Structure 1
């Protein structure tokens, strides 16, 4: 049986770390927990896990936002399926869940960024989920 559940307690958030670590390899467990809790408190960040039986096999993190460019939209911050469980439709289920959440909460769009090297993810977003490329994301590090 497959189930999607929002992760709220520290214990639930930590249980998702082994899967999230596959996407966010630069984070250790304590940084991860600190960032998730801060994002939940300050940015209305939501983290959901897709369970197969009692095992977390995929995770999505998103936050509702308002900007002049997109208007009212949901930004998908993180989406990862356990590398041993890919190509089973779990990412599609989570992203579809977020689309429904956005519609039900009166958000007009869903957006995300994806690393340039993640070509298979780009195919998934464009071909399976009907996303379109609309911009580049630029960043600068202020830690020197």
Structure 2
């Protein structure tokens, strides 16, 4: 378990049916375990907190969240309202590694007109995970750039 002094101002929580399997997926893309509860024993963890630098992510067991909160709509959905983006230096290598480990690849690695290279996979609970590089975004060098992309949508 890694101890860290990174300040966190918030973190997403993913609900999982198998906290260990989902945490193992995120470890493959560079996250380290910061905390788990319960910390030891034969009981599967109720949650594991991971971090990758200052990016924190909590994986929580669905049934524990339902029991502790009473929230009526915790769990899987067919609607996708978000994805988790993980920035890496080698999209192709990370996606190949995840695929070998059993991750479902939804969008193969490809270059984007703004300079990034990205792909989409799913974690063990079906959450969309974008694996991407992060270019300096000097848009003047990309001929496919569309200036209207910078125009805010009308409210």
Higher helix share: 1
Normalised TM-score (structure 2)? 0.27
